[in-house]
Amino acid sequence: MSLANTAEILDDIAFFDDWEERYKYIIDLGKELPPMDESLHTPERLVKGCQSNVWLDVQQEADRLQFIVDSDAVIVRGLLALVLAAYHDKTAQEICAFDIDDYFRQLDLERHLSPTRGNGLRAIVGRIRTIAEAVR
């Protein structure tokens, strides 16, 4: 799976003048995510703390973690694409060392999300970091 990386996303998002255009860009990123097989939509893969349904699956290939995600909300799929840009196909050490707060600050993201979306985003990041800590 080939996803945009954080540098590409930061460059692209800086190009847009207003947040309506940025939201469209984020939604488009979500549309580029590979589909998750319906059989993976199980309760144990459901991320708790999200307003929308979010499923997260992880596979380990050598020392890299490969994430497959899905949501029933288009904007959340876009937010998942932003998160995967930081974490997909990285080692557990790289995931734990990545400054996600700085990345979100550079995106100016949390200021433009509802509190429930922001909490859901934190829940997704927390789940990924917990997985990375467990395999580190």
Contact 31, 22 (CB under 8 A): no
111-130 residue pLDDT tens: 889 889 999 999 999 999 99
Q: What is the mean pLDDT of the chain?
A: 94
* Segment 13-72, tens digit of pLDDT: 999 989 999 999 999 999 999 999 999 999 999 999 988 999 999 999 999 999 999 999
Token reading at 39: 């059989």
CATH of domain 6-135: 3.90.1010.10
pLDDT of residue 1: 54
Q: How far is CA 92 from CA 1, 23, 58, 66, in A?
A: 18, 30, 12, 11
Instruction: Say which amino acid occupies 50.
Output: C
Catalytic positions are 50
Q: How does strand 54-61 pair with strand 90-91?
A: unpaired
